Amino acid sequence: MEMPAPNPAVLALKPRLVARLQEVLAPDAVIHDEAETRAYECDALTAYRCPPLCAVLPSTTQQVSDVLRICHEMGVPVVPRGSGTSLAGGALPTADSVILGVARMNDVLEVDYDNRFVRVQSGRTNLSVTGAVEADGFFYAPDPSSQLACAISGNIAMNSGGAHCLKYGVTTNNLLGVTMVLMDGTVLELGGAHMDAPGLDFLGVICGSEGQLGVVTEATLRILPKPEGARPVLMGYDSNEVAGQVVSDIIKAGVLPVAIEFMDRPCIRATEAFAKAGYPDCEALLIVEVEGSDDEISEQLALITDIARRHNPVELREAADEDQARRIWLGRKSAFGAMGQINDYMCLDGTIPVSQLPYVLRRIGEMSQQYGLGVGNVFHAGDGNMHPLILFDANKPGDLERCEAFGADILRLCVEVGGCLTGEHGVGIEKRDLMVDQFAPDDLDIQMAVKDVFDPKWLLNPAKVFPLAASEPRRQAQIAAE
């Protein structure tokens, strides 16, 4: 993955830049020592690293505005960062950029149960948003698997999903408003406690814009009353086709589970060896979870297990109590860790139409043979969001490149069958150069035109999302102007 060469003129600005940033921030909020900036050299896509020029940790919206105004005036690129859990390189710096971390901005500003929203600073972690309201019977629905660590700012940047979005939607469906700072320092309030936009739906385009349009400092999030209970059922099948058919039949039957998770044999074996959840050794495993009161759960599960039985499962296990429910989820939740025990892995995130599931899994299996790299599949089957985990050895020369080529082929396959490159992780640098496989040049141009409007100098996270060749004229125009 290529990154643009740092601009020497910007590198030379470092002493003056640091001095100006120190004027508006607390002394410990400007990190410029070369050893210390290393802490910000990568996010969760650890194969790529580059320490930034410096990192800043503002505490208020005003400070964010000051920082951006200074960088804007001096022509310095800014890379916003939440908790740095992006799997797509969304927070990867360049040597000539300032990392703007919102981690110190993590307060709950307002909780309103009558209107069912909570307003938080954007550095607050996803799980701690729920933490702030759960004692009163509420929760925040989007639940990316990194929810213990990931920040709301990053959730908004990537429009994060999670296991339960079949029922509750993703971040954009649960975001009511933001306070956002534009690259020139302008503070903008969008949305709020009301439910729709007065004019153009800016909130909709900001969510998922990967930190390229502005820096979100506060967010108004919809919270929901917690369901009375939830219970999963586990089912195993001896073919991916049959499991795919079960998913489709459940959806068509009119029940809407909160989650339908799918694991294939390589993944089942790896998690079994690692977490010992007691999963059956079969080709495909489904975990289906429903919510409600005890009676409601039983009613839904009866319908679901009926469908499951019609397809001759090799195993069908309903959770009878909390402990069994925990054990059913245990393997799924340890899947990534389990794969990591075997080897380094790259986690993909393409989405496909649900009907293409068996075909796509078969093709992935064939490609795995061709590339000589193992792959396990674990994903949200209800919405077609796949997470193939490709195993490779980072210490073996050429393996990473082979793995990336394999991954790119899988993502092209997703597009080919009518899906997309990324369902919830974002494009970042990882899928940047594949955008041409999903979009025509004009489709990319109109997206870049939106960035032109919000960030005319292309200083915010500039080397992400769009293929470098496509964004180069716009980025170069800025450098030439400085």
Partner 1 sequence: MHPTSEADLADAIATAKGALRIQGGATRDIGAPVIGTALSTQGLDGIVDYEPGALTLVARAGTPLAQIEAALAAEGQRLPFEPMDHRPVLGTKGTPTIGGVVAANVSGPRRVQVGACRDFLLGARFVDGAGRVLKNGGRVMKNVTGYDLVKLMAGSFGTLGVITEVSFKVLPIPETQVTLAFSGHDPARAVAAMAAALSSPFEVSGAAWVQGQTLLRLEGMERSVAYRVGALAERLKPYGQAEHIQGTAAGAIWQTVRDAHALVGCETLWRVSLKPSDAPAFLAAVDPDHQLKCQIDWGGGLIWLGAESAENAADTHASLRGEIASRGGHVTLLKAPTALRTSLAVFQPEPPAAAALARALRQRFDPKAILNPGLMG
Residues 381-410 that bind partner 1 (CB under 8 A): 382-385
Give the nearer residue to partner 1 in terms of CB position, either 277 or 389: 389
Strands 375-380 and 315-318: unpaired
Q: Is 440 in the site for partner 1 (CB under 8 A)?
A: yes
CA 460 to chain centre: 19
Q: State the nearest-atom distance from the C-beta of 388 to partner 1, in Å.
A: 15
Give the nearer residue to partner 1 in terms of CB position, either 116 or 333: 116
Q: State the nearest-atom distance from the C-beta of 429 to partner 1, in Å.
A: 14
Distance CA 227, CA 62 (A): 39
**What per-residue string of b and e applies to 344-359 under the rule 16 or more CB within 10 Å gives b?**
bbbbbbbbbebebbbe
Q: Is 193 in the site for partner 1 (CB under 8 A)?
A: yes
Among 87, 141, 203, 282, binds partner 1 (CB under 8 A): 203
Give the nearer residue to partner 1 in terms of CB position, either 252 or 370: 252
Stretch near partner 1 under the rule CB under 8 A, chosen from 200-208, 234-242, 308-316, 366-374: 200-208
Phi, psi of 237 (to 5 degrees): -130, 160
Stretch near partner 1 under the rule CB under 8 A, chosen from 19-27, 98-106, 234-242, 250-258: 250-258
Distance CA 465, CA 422 (A): 11
Give the nearer residue to partner 1 in terms of CB position, either 353 or 473: 353
Among 197, 273, 394, 405, binds partner 1 (CB under 8 A): 197
Contact assessment for residue 108 and residue 131, using Cβ atoms and an 8 Å cutoff:
no
Residues in the chain: 482
Number of residues that bind partner 1 (CB under 8 A): 96
Residue 382's nearest CA partner among 217, 167, 212, 208 is 167
Q: Is 186 in the site for partner 1 (CB under 8 A)?
A: yes
> Rule CB under 8 A: which of 405-434 touch partner 1?
418-427, 431
Give the nearer residue to partner 1 in terms of CB position, either 7 or 422: 422
x/- map, 286-315, partner 1, by CB under 8 A: ------xx-xx--xx--x------------
Give the nearer residue to partner 1 in terms of CB position, either 123 or 419: 419
Distance CA 111, CA 133 (A): 8
Stretch near partner 1 under the rule CB under 8 A, chosen from 43-51, 232-240, 365-373, 435-443: 435-443
Give the nearer residue to partner 1 in terms of CB position, either 343 or 438: 438
Stretch near partner 1 under the rule CB under 8 A, chosen from 42-50, 95-103, 201-209, 472-480: 201-209
Sheet of strand 175-181, all strands in order from the earlier edge strand to the far edge: 108-112, 117-121, 215-222, 175-181, 187-191
Instruction: Identify the bridge partners of residue 225 per DSSP, sorted by sequence position.
Output: 138
**What per-residue string of b and e applies to 256-286 under the rule 16 or more CB within 10 Å gives b?**
ebbbbbbbbbbbbbbbbebbebebbebbbbb
Strands 259-264 and 117-121: unpaired
Non-local (6+) Cβ contacts of 332 within 8 A are 261, 263, 271, 287, 378
Give how far Cα 475 sits from Cα of 100, 175, 202, 417, Å.
20, 31, 23, 33
Give the nearer residue to partner 1 in terms of CB position, either 201 or 404: 201
Q: State the nearest-atom distance from the C-beta of 108 to partner 1, in Å.
A: 18
Which letter does DSSP use for residue 431 in this model? T
Stretch near partner 1 under the rule CB under 8 A, chosen from 59-67, 93-101, 121-129, 253-261: 253-261
Give the nearer residue to partner 1 in terms of CB position, either 281 or 294: 294
Q: State the nearest-atom distance from the C-beta of 442 to partner 1, in Å.
A: 5
Distance CA 253, CA 246 (A): 10
Q: State the nearest-atom distance from the C-beta of 254 to partner 1, in Å.
A: 4
Q: State the nearest-atom distance from the C-beta of 115 to partner 1, in Å.
A: 5
Among 75, 169, 278, 358, binds partner 1 (CB under 8 A): 169
> Rule CB under 8 A: which of 95-134 touch partner 1?
112-116
Q: Is 198 in the site for partner 1 (CB under 8 A)?
A: yes
Give the nearer residue to partner 1 in terms of CB position, either 128 or 248: 248
Give the nearer residue to partner 1 in terms of CB position, either 336 or 392: 336
Residue 231's nearest CA partner among 306, 168, 287, 279 is 287
CB 113: neighbour CB atoms within 10 A? 13
CB 326: neighbour CB atoms within 10 A? 13
Q: Is 240 in the site for partner 1 (CB under 8 A)?
A: no
> Rule CB under 8 A: which of 135-164 touch partner 1?
137-138, 158-159, 161
